[in-house]
Amino acid sequence: MQLASKQLLSIQNQIWRSSSIRVSSSQIKKKSFEVTLLTHHLKTAADTNLRIYRSIQSEIKLLEEEVEQALEAPKQLDLLQTMTGIGPVLSFL
């Protein structure tokens, strides 16, 4: 999770430093997001970071699904999962 957050911040900072445009994390998280308005080399670097971020997110999702299958969480944990940032794994801990 920390690595994904760091990667997200890296993408935001690259875009902001290079173009003075602020991009929200929710925009970057969208599957349709593409890096634009950067020169060729900067765009390549930002695109690489975006692919790394998406790969990390994919791995996190796979791990969460495995843990979820391995654990049968009590129904009371559903309430915890309504909070932002708390999914099946964190609610069980």
Q: Given pLDDT bands bounded at 50, 70 and 90, which one contains residue 82?
A: confident
Mean pLDDT of 52-71: 86
pLDDT of amino acid 27: 92
pLDDT of amino acid 66: 83
Whether residue 50 is predicted with pLDDT greater than 90 in this model: the reply is: yes
Mean pLDDT of the chain: 86
Look up the pTM and report it.
0.68
Is the sign of the CA dihedral 59, 60, 63, 65 positive or negative? negative
Residues 6+ apart with CB under 8 A from 3: 56
